[in-house]
Amino acid sequence: MVIRLWGGDPASVAEKRSKDGKDQENIHHPYAWFASTLVSLLALTLGHTGDHIFGLLPLMASIANGAGGTIEDIEDPRAQRQGDVDVDPLEIYGPLGTRAYVRAGLTYTYTLLGAPYVVHELRFPTDPPDGDHTELPRHTSELPSGRNIPQVGGVWKDIFKDDLVSVSAAPILHSVPCVGYVIQEAPIPGKMEPRNYIPNIKRTKTPMSVMSRLQQGESVELSDGTVLHGPPRRPGRKIVILGDTYDPSVAADIACSPDLLVHEATNAHLPGIDPTTKPTDTFESVEARAKSRGHSTPQMAAAFATQIGARRLVLNHFSPKYPGNDDVNAEARTTMEAIADLARKQFTGEIICARDLMTIEVNLPQQNTNP
Ligand SMILES: [Zn+2]
């Protein structure tokens, strides 16, 4: 399975898709993610700040073939209700207000979509538990099955689950309600070592098809009484994507031991590199300022990565004052390396500074084969 992450400004992602005609991945901002190779799930980290939500509608229009309708008397098939259309809906998860935002945006721009969508809202304890939070009637493409998901034990567990992945979420502290997501791949078949099985299978003239049962972790008894045990299943990969935050500790339990943590690092103290550094600035004053705006420094992100036992850390959501095109710009490269160096003080694993449209592969941890 491929786990793909998408993020950044969704409008630029949509534009990239339409230009290339194929999917691109990007995790500069913790805006959104898609699990599996199909675009079917989209999770919003914040409901109320523009840098994380403005591009949602163009992205939806790009994915679902939206358009502004047809001239009079010509019926646009997209204007029909799509509740019974045999197409997987685009599923959107976000805090209270996400449904109203999407509905209003589509309605007031007369946008029709070629596929249905549904919005599930993660309700905080202070939110109303029910209702759509908008007076507008449901959009023609919106399915009525959107859930209002309450917290249980302070988190939203398994807001989505299928055979491949499960997704949970937790509130994280920021200046507005904000959410972090945990994507857990289901356990996967263990690694087969054919030489452990083939001689016994051949000797007892057992059909080779038992290999597929063994691969699934089953035990198989051969005609002479020998029992072969398939390799035990291995844990799947785990990815944690946090939204803007100065304290994500509520997410620590469900986020433990991820293969990849995406954590913002908006502000950094970079004397000699960042020309806007004031003579009075210190690591402490920069951290205090970042926290007062609901954000983190590289050291704070790295400390959380260490706390939850992350294998790799991706820093993102850098202040716009830092040049971000470090693949082509030496000044940007110096800045991003300095930001990674600050994180290295608190985290010994691999550190990556994200950039728009960057692709990061999350491989399975190396494991020994079954003896
Ligand atoms: Zn932001």
What integer pLDDT is reported at residue 75 of this predicted model?
A: 66
What integer pLDDT is reported at residue 32 of this predicted model?
A: 35
- Beta strand extents in the chain (DSSP E only): 41-43, 90-95, 117-123, 148-150, 156-161, 165-172, 178-185, 219-221, 227-229, 238-242, 260-264, 312-316, 350-353
CA 9 – ligand 1 centroid, Å: 10
CB 11 within 8 A of CB 62: no
Low-confidence ranges of the chain (pLDDT < 70): 1-43, 45-50, 65-86, 366-371
CA 51 – ligand 1 centroid, Å: 5
CB 31 within 8 A of CB 52: yes
For residue range 43-57, what is the model confidence (pLDDT) as tens digits?
676 655 667 788 888
Could you tell me the residue ranges of all domains in the chain?
10-154, 194-229, 238-353
Q: How far is CA 57 from the centre of its chain?
A: 18
Tokens 């019974």 correspond to 84
CA 49 – ligand 1 centroid, Å: 7
What integer pLDDT is reported at residue 306 of this predicted model?
A: 98
CATH fold, domain 238-353, is Metallo-beta-lactamase; Chain A (3.60.15)
What integer pLDDT is reported at residue 346 of this predicted model?
A: 97
Q: Report the b/e string of 277-316 with b at 16+ CB within 10 A.
A: eeeeeeeeebbeebbeebbbbbbbbbbbbeebebbbbbbb
Bridge partners of 122? Answer: 95, 149
CA 183 – ligand 1 centroid, Å: 21
For residue range 166-191, what is the model confidence (pLDDT) as tens digits?
999 999 999 988 999 999 999 988 88
CA 1 – ligand 1 centroid, Å: 30
What integer pLDDT is reported at residue 356 of this predicted model?
A: 85
CA 174 – ligand 1 centroid, Å: 10
CA 25 – ligand 1 centroid, Å: 19
CA 239 – ligand 1 centroid, Å: 20
